[in-house]
């Protein structure tokens, strides 16, 4: 019903001027829903070239196949004509300037390429006009050429865009223009604008009324009165818009749009709130998960594996809620390691040292999937169990030698057992070794009724050497490896003077252990420094949780080395990092609150606007005065 309920009057003139052939072309088609108006100016030198006609027909046919006034549709009509001209079988490449107008009888959209022109007159004033796609127009924009001399300048027809150029065509397509009753659309070719300037055309349109034919006659009379020496082909088309189409369903459609908009706003608000709650809960779960993870690491470093297992299980539950497969796998690896350590701890507490040894080895295998965080503790436990078992082996071997009457070698084994038990704080083994020594000395006293002075001196030397070795064991146990090495060196000298190669070899082994332990401590201190450097790098890159983990690793090593000043320094780094984490969290919460406040204000504004529109709609629907 659009065409029947609107009044569009169209008229045009098209003449060859001074030329033999008219290479201009104008055509239009008015359908029920849309109308299309096309004007084309052929740019070929051959008089029989039909570029303008082919371009116009191509656009009209493309429009009739898919009537639309979208920007993409207008572009497709122009591109279709461009391809038709480019592929046409002709003596020279066909070229044309084109302007096309598409209207739905209420609004209009135009597109053009080249230097055909369009003007929209409203109340006798031009409110919309096109600009040529020529070098001359570019010179005007750059203020290299006055606007009033363009129609006579040699670069006016030097086009950078035209139909028929093939690839790279970039036509101009306007936005939709709302039409009102009394509007006049004029499209014309260069035969008009080269001889009549814009001011003269404006004067003609300011007096336009009635039928478009009268306007065309006035324009043609004005053109011919100039009597130009070389009048090019000229075409002028005018579309008088006496009545635009008014949509009878606009009010209902507006009301429906308001209702739909309100429903959409409510839905969007609900979805936004749901997404915010989901994001809030996910962040809450993630923060709690990270806290549990940190607690797990700290409890492991504090050797509290029962509490570490509880925290790790909680972290896994939170990771499962977040569906974070990576964290689930990482926490599961930690949990398996902790469970293996707790199994080993139970066997160790029950003095089932062989079972504990096997369990700690299993834990060591699983520790490699958990950042090897418990390797130092597991290695310490394995070394301790090895020492405990060695104590029992020394005592058993001493018993065998004592039974054979070899009191010297038996004493050696008992002393080795006692020294090893003392160094590893193995009270039960030390007690058994002492009891074995007392029994051995009793047997030896009964077997030896008298000792020579040489034997006494030897015994004194052996006692002195044993005392020095014992002092060295004590220093070694306390971590004073340099002091222990000095005691062992003095004991070694005495055993060498006594010719006791067995004890001498044992002392040399202990000296080597001192060197090894000292070197090991240096390596641990270096490793701690590496952890601190890694933590600082992670902190600098923004991964504060990983940074804290590295600092905790370093702190654990300094604790083992009894370097209290370094422990205090690392605690300071951790405290600063935790403060930064808390500040980040507070900042994030503040930003979320601000976003909520802004969303609420926007929503309130939208609701108020919708209420005002609805009130206006109700007033419009009410009875007239």
Q: Which of the listed ranges 63-67, 194-198, 247-251 does the model predict with the highest average pLDDT?
A: 63-67
Retrieve residue 522's tokens.
């240096």
Residues 291 and 417 in one domain: no
Residues 259 and 235 in one domain: no
Q: Is residue 602 part of a domain?
A: yes
Q: Is residue 499 part of a domain?
A: yes
Q: Would you give the DSSP letter of residue 237?
A: E
Structural domains in the chain (count): 4
Retrieve residue 15's tokens.
């003449």
CA–CA separation, 596 vs 594, rounded Å?
5
14: closest CA among 2, 5, 23?
23
pLDDT mean over 25-29:
95
Q: Which pLDDT does position 147 carry in this prediction?
A: 62
Of 527 and 461, more confident:
527
pTM of the model: 0.46
CA–CA separation, 342 vs 375, rounded Å?
14
Residues 284 and 208 in one domain: no
Q: What are phi and psi of 97, to 5 degrees?
A: -95, 140
Q: Which pLDDT does position 286 carry in this prediction?
A: 86
Domain's final residue, options 327, 356, 373: 373
pLDDT mean over 231-243:
92
Q: Which pLDDT does position 617 carry in this prediction?
A: 64
Domain's final residue, options 248, 272, 294: 248
Retrieve residue 543's tokens.
């991964």
Q: Which pLDDT does position 239 carry in this prediction?
A: 94
Q: Is residue 1 part of a domain?
A: no
Residues 242 and 337 in one domain: no
Q: Is residue 44 part of a domain?
A: yes
- Contact call for residues 342 and 309 (beta carbons, < 8 A): yes
Q: Would you give the DSSP letter of residue 581?
A: H
CA–CA separation, 106 vs 3, rounded Å?
10
Q: Which pLDDT does position 613 carry in this prediction?
A: 67
Q: Which pLDDT does position 453 carry in this prediction?
A: 55
From the CB of residue 38, how many other CB atoms can be counted at a distance below 10 Å?
28
Query: Across the chain, how many H-helices and E-strands are there?
Result: 18, 11
- Counting beta carbons within 10 angstroms of the beta carbon of residue 406, is it exposed (0 to 12), middle (13 to 18) or buried (19 or more)? middle
Q: Is residue 518 part of a domain?
A: yes
Retrieve residue 348's tokens.
């160790």
Q: Which pLDDT does position 625 carry in this prediction?
A: 33
Residues 362 and 394 in one domain: no
3-state secondary structure of 107: strand
Q: Is residue 483 part of a domain?
A: yes
Q: Tell me the CATH number at 54.
A: 3.60.40.10
Retrieve residue 454's tokens.
């040489």
Cα-Cα-Cα-Cα torsion 595, 598, 603, 606, nearest 10 degrees, comes to -140
Retrieve residue 230's tokens.
């070389």
Of 46 and 338, more confident:
338
Q: Which pLDDT does position 624 carry in this prediction?
A: 46
Cα-Cα-Cα-Cα torsion 116, 118, 124, 127, nearest 10 degrees, comes to -130
CA–CA separation, 46 vs 78, rounded Å?
23
CA–CA separation, 315 vs 289, rounded Å?
5
Q: Is residue 34 part of a domain?
A: yes
Strand duo 172-173 + 125-129: pairing: unpaired
- DSSP string of 132-181? --BHHHHHHHTTSS-GGGGGG-TTTT-BS--BT--TT---EEPPPEE--T
Rg, C-alpha atoms of the chain: 50
Confidence of residue 173 (pLDDT cuts 50, 70, 90): very high
Q: Is the pLDDT of residue 623 over 60?
A: no
Domain's final residue, options 335, 358, 373: 373
Of 496 and 164, more confident:
164
Q: Which pLDDT does position 27 carry in this prediction?
A: 95
Contacts 24+ apart (CB under 8 A), 200-207: 201/119, 202/121, 202/124, 202/125, 202/126, 205/119, 205/121, 205/124, 205/126, 206/124, 206/125, 207/124
**Among 35-39, 73-77, 434-438, which is the least confidently predicted range?**
434-438
CA–CA separation, 607 vs 620, rounded Å?
20
Residues 561 and 598 in one domain: yes
pLDDT mean over 301-312:
88
Q: Is residue 462 part of a domain?
A: no
E strand segments, 485-556 = none
Q: Is the pLDDT of residue 214 over 50?
A: yes
CA–CA separation, 479 vs 519, rounded Å?
12
Of 370 and 615, more confident:
370
CB under 8 Å to 63, separation ≥6 — which residues?
29, 34, 36, 77, 102
Maximum Cα–Cα distance for the chain, whole Å? 159
Q: Is the pLDDT of residue 389 over 60?
A: yes
CA–CA separation, 40 vs 85, rounded Å?
12
From the CB of residue 380, how many other CB atoms can be counted at a distance below 10 Å?
13
Residues 282 and 391 in one domain: no
What's the chain's average pLDDT?
84
| Interaxial angle between packed helices 501-540 and 564-621, expressed in degrees from 0 to 180 and rounded to the nearest 10 | 30
Residues 42 and 150 in one domain: yes
Residues 483 and 593 in one domain: yes
321: closest CA among 286, 293, 291?
286
Residues 431 and 518 in one domain: no
Residues 529 and 480 in one domain: yes
% of residues, the chain, pLDDT over 90: 21
pLDDT mean over 586-611:
78
CA–CA separation, 133 vs 150, rounded Å?
12
- Contact call for residues 5 and 210 (beta carbons, < 8 A): no
Q: Tell me the CATH number at 401.
A: 1.20.58
Retrieve residue 302's tokens.
């504090």
3-state secondary structure of 28: strand
193: closest CA among 100, 284, 114, 127?
114
Residues 146 and 177 in one domain: yes
Confidence of residue 620 (pLDDT cuts 50, 70, 90): low
**Among 79-83, 337-341, 367-371, which is the least confidently predicted range?**
367-371
- Per-residue model confidence as pLDDT tens digits over 109-126: 999 999 999 999 998 889
Cα three-residue angle 173-176-180, rounded to 5 degrees: 135
CA–CA separation, 105 vs 367, rounded Å?
79
From the CB of residue 530, how many other CB atoms can be counted at a distance below 10 Å?
14
Range of 258's domain? Answer: 249-373
pLDDT mean over 527-539:
86
What number of CA atoms fall less than 13 Å from residue 309's CA on the CB side? 11
């Amino acid at each position: 019903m659009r065409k029947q309920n609107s009044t569009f009057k169209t008229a045009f003139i098209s003449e060859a001027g001074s030329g033999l052939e008219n290479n201009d072309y104008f055509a239009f088609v008015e359908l029920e829903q849309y109308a299309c108006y096309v004007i084309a100016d052929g740019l070929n030198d051959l008089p029989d070239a039909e570029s303008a006609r082919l371009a116009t027909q191509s656009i009209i046919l493309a429009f009739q196949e898919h009537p639309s006034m979208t920007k993409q549709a207008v572009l497709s009509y122009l591109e279709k004509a461009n391809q038709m001209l480019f592929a046409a079988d002709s003596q020279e490449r066909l070229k044309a300037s084109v302007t096309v107008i598409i209207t739905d009888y209420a609004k209009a959209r135009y597109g053009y390429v080249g230097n055909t022109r369009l003007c929209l007159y409203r109340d006798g004033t031009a409110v919309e006009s096109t600009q040529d796609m020529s070098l001359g127009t570019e010179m005007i924009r750059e203020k290299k050429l006055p606007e009033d001399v363009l129609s006579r300048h040699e670069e006016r027809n030097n086009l950078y865009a035209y139909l028929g150029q093939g690839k790279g065509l970039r036509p101009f397509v306007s936005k939709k223009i709302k039409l009102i009753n009394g509007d006049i659309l004029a499209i014309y070719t260069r035969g008009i604008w080269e001889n009549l300037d814009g001011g003269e055309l404006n004067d003609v349109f300011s007096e336009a009324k009635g039928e478009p034919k009268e306007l065309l006659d006035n324009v043609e009379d004005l053109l011919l009165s100039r009597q130009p020496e070389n009048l090019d082909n000229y075409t002028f088309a005018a579309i008088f818009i006496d009545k635009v189409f008014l949509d009878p369903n606009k009010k209902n459609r507006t009301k429906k749009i308001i209702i739909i908009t309100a429903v959409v706003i409510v839905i969007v608000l609900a979805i936004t709130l749901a997404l915010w709650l989901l994001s809030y809960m996910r962040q809450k779960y993630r923060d709690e998960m990270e806290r549990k993870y940190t607690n797990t690491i700290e409890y492991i470093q504090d050797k509290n594996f029962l509490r570490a297992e509880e925290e790790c299980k909680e972290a896994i539950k939170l990771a499962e809620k977040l569906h974070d497969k990576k964290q689930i796998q990482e926490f599961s690896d930690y949990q398996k390691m902790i469970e293996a350590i707790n199994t080993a701890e139970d066997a160790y507490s029950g003095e089932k040292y062989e079972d504990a040894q096997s369990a700690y080895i299993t834990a060591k295998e699983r520790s490699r999937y958990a950042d090897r965080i418990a390797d130092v503790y597991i290695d310490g436990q394995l070394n301790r169990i090895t020492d405990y078992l060695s104590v029992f082996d020394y005592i058993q071997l001493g018993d065998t030698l004592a039974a054979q009457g070899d009191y010297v070698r038996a004493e050696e084994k008992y002393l080795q057992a006692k020294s090893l038990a003392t160094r590893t704080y193995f009270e039960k083994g030390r007690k058994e070794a002492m009891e074995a020594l007392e029994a051995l000395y009793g047997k030896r006293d009964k077997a030896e009724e008298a000792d020579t002075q040489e034997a006494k001196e030897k015994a004194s030397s052996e006692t002195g050497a044993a005392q020095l070795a014992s002092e060295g064991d004590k220093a070694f146990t306390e971590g004073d490896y340099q002091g222990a090495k000095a005691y062992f060196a003095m004991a070694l000298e005495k055993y060498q003077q006594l010719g006791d190669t067995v004890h001498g070899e044992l002392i040399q082994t202990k000296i080597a252990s001192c060197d090894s332990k000292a070197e090991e401590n240096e390596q641990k201190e270096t490793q701690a420094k590496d952890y601190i450097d890694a933590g600082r790098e992670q902190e600098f890159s923004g991964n504060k949780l990983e940074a804290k983990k590295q600092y905790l690793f370093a702190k654990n090593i300094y604790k083992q080395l009894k370097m209290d000043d370094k422990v205090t320094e690392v605690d300071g780094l951790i405290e600063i990092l935790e403060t930064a984490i808390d500040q980040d969290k507070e900042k994030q919460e503040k930003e979320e609150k601000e976003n909520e406040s802004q969303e609420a204000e926007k929503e309130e504004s939208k609701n108020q606007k919708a209420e005002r529109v609805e009130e206006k709609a109700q007033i419009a629907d009410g009875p007239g005065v």
